[in-house]
Structure 1
Amino acid sequence: MNTSDTNNTPQCYSIRSPPFNYTHPINSVYFSSIFSALGITSNLIAFIVLIKSFRRTHNRSRSFFLIFLGGLVITDFMGLLVTGSIVVSFHLTHFNWRQVDPNCHFCNFMGMSMVFYGLCPLLLSATMAVERFTGITRPFARSTNMPKSRTVSMVLMVWLVAGCIALLPLTGIGSYHIQIPGSWCFFNISWNGSDMVFSLLFSLVGLISIAVSFLLNTVSVVTLIKVCCGQDRTQRRRDHEVEMMVQLILIMIIASISWCPLLVFIAQTVLARKGFQSVYLLLYIRFATWNQILDPWVYILFRRAVLKRVYPRLDWSRGSIMTLYPSFQNTIRRFTRSSLGSNLGSDETGETEMSNVTASIFKK
């Protein structure tokens, strides 16, 4: 699989072979070093914050959410550490890939890492959206005694799915190749044979994950707004869920802005059957890297403990955004009552009817 039949050239060098004469400013040791150092530091800080939050929390739903966030932080950290160390090493030493890696093992490893650590955040974001959708719209569908190990198993399952996709080029579906300027490897974006299949698979999995996140998060937010517009006692119980949804929405927005240009570029290149300039691919890859850099700051900054210090006058325990603007609250309440036949509303009706029946029985 690693050699062609014509000239015994290893497959990862069969389309383009180093060294390359490429001097674009984006191909710089400064770009790579700053991106890697900033991302690794951010994820380390976020991991420490998550551990402290996990130890302090007594809310089961929040503990599940923090496990997902921990998996996302670990994935982003390892992705930047593995791929960043290779790219920075190339820029510092300018080693020749064909001499260091004559059989393409190292190139295949980096290509797998790029695919694995690229898909994992998108798949984890979609999985988190599913978990929050279930927790908010179907609160009784999940067992209250569900062990935390099941959440860990879901994170491991996401890693397994992303790993299986990353391994496909080693089985003949797609192929990993050295990319200009010679500092990294990625799958071959082409409209020929198995390369087209893998390119579309990578692009569609990423775009579908973003679409699922957007759809489920939208439903969850609208349902949560309906609940928060109820009594104050309900609002206090929903504080943690509001915080989790704010973080999840920001994660989704960052992932969409960072990854959509690359995913659309890959799909458009393959379906249009046209070539592309390497500078665009490198630019979109750099753009996607911002997802791993910005994600940690969502967990670091957008917490109630931080927001209370930034704006202490706001009554965070009662969701005073709603109470400060009663007209807005009434408008939202009328909208949600008319547009949503939510299960939460039906549950409240059922509880009211049950209490009335119980009261009448005791009166008798």
Structure 2
Amino acid sequence: MIRQAPSGNDTTPVCFSINNPPFNYNHTIASVYFSTILSGLGLSSNLFAFVVLIKTFLRTKSLSRSSFLIFLAGLVVTDFMGLLVTGSIVISFHATRFVWRDLDPYCHFCNFMGMSMVFYGLCPLLLGAAMAVERFVGINRPFTRSASMSKGRALTTVVAVWVVAGVISLLPLTGLGSYHMQKPGSWCFFNISSQPLDLSFSLIFSLLGLLSLAVSFLLNTVSVVTLLRVCCGQDASARRRDHEVEMMVQLIGIMIIASICWCPLLVFIVTTVLSGNPLVVRSLLLWIRFATFNQILDPWVYILFRRAILKRVYPRLDWSRGSIASLYPSFTTSLRKLTRSSLGGGLDEGPPQGRDVPSPLQPLSS
């Protein structure tokens, strides 16, 4: 796609029609070092997390844990590739100070980076929502989950998330929105404006991201409440919940990091296009950098919140019983009272005389 330049003497590719490089920008030596250090830290962290995930996956025998590890591996691979693709372009720009218009006169490279920004931005949010759904079903509907979520289906879900994010990233190439060069000339992103097509794509991207975070928050909250009821109820010693506690801690960490890193950018996009105000470039750059930290921090959630690490930090926690409340025995009574009062009571009472005790494998919702 090309667009007539204002002078009328030549044609300007659409990606340079709003911001036409080169820009008057001070390329400080700190720019390349800052980008290199962040990219290197993120790549090494994701690579280390992936190796640990593979070793854990080969040792685990739990179906629920294996499926969750597949989701985590998909998230780590996505974050690694996102940093590799976008980081290499940004570092090359700061290191060589190339003029994008001369290097990419037909916008192919700019469109590729714009697609990468959208794809690798949406994937962590969608994967976080998919993991929240998987854990919600696994904790609240164990029979349904065991019959439906196999390792193959978990892998299919990860691929489906990649496909959905890929299709959305292709929409600007079909005319719904457009990718444009962004100041200071080191990156490309979709155009954030109130024009009908640009507004539509901006809302698709931002509202889908916010919806993913909302689904994650809602389902994770229900899962945590259910898990607390099991850990602090009468069947705390009968049900092994160490894996569930570990996975929920990791999932909550992923959700919190994604919310902190992505909500400012997503809300900024929505308010900008709906208000019709001019785009504030400094704010966009700030929130984009916030979002980038999500790819760097994600692997550390799994690295730091594994049972092997938690055992060293909290050696008094009785992992053999799988009860998180065993860390603070005096806290258990208070937490049981809280869950009993908030969830309808009866959690500490023994079974009535003459009646069978429910099976430990009974679904939590029954």
Same fold, TM-score > 0.5, yes or no: yes
Report what 1:204 is aligned to. Answer: 207
Distance 1:144 1:37, change over 3 A: same
Report what 1:234 is aligned to. Answer: 238
- Give the SS at the match of 1:28: helix
Q: Does the 8 Å CA contact 1:43/1:73 hold for their aligned counterparts?
A: yes
Deviation at 1:97, TM superposition (A): 1.1
TM-score normalised to the size of structure 2? 0.89
- Give the SS at the match of 1:173: coil
Report the Cα distance in structure 2 between the residues aligned to 1:48 and 1:18, rounded to whole angstroms: 41
Distance 1:173 1:27, change over 3 A: farther
Q: Which has the higher helix share?
A: 1
Fraction of identical pairs, as percent: 69
Matches within 5 A, 1:164-313: 164-230=167-233, 231-235=235-239, 237-313=240-316
Deviation at 1:319, TM superposition (A): 5.1
Distance 1:119 1:337, change over 3 A: same
Task: Decide which moves more: 282-291 or 143-152.
Answer: 143-152
Matches within 5 A, 1:16-31: 16-23=19-26, 28-31=31-34
Report what 1:103 is aligned to. Answer: 106
Q: Does the 8 Å CA contact 1:2/1:104 hold for their aligned counterparts?
A: no
Report what 1:60 is aligned to. Answer: 63
Distance 1:115 1:320, change over 3 A: same
Deviation at 1:232, TM superposition (A): 4.2
Unaligned stretches of 5+ residues in structure 1: 357-364
Report the Cα distance in structure 2 between the residues aligned to 1:87 and 1:13, rounded to whole angstroms: 17
Is 1:82 the counterpart of 2:74? The answer is: no
- Of 112, 119, 122, 1:119 maps to 122
Unaligned stretches of 5+ residues in structure 2: 359-366
- Give the SS at the match of 2:144: coil
Deviations 1:334-354, CA, capped at 9 Å, x for gaps: 333343369xx8xx98xx956
Is 1:130 the counterpart of 2:133? The answer is: yes
Report the Cα distance in structure 2 between the residues aligned to 1:144 and 1:243, rounded to whole angstroms: 22
Report the Cα distance in structure 2 between the residues aligned to 1:354 and 1:157, rounded to whole angstroms: 44
Report the Cα distance in structure 2 between the residues aligned to 1:316 and 1:104, rounded to whole angstroms: 56
Number of aligned pairs? 350
Deviation at 1:141, TM superposition (A): 1.5
- Give the SS at the match of 2:315: coil
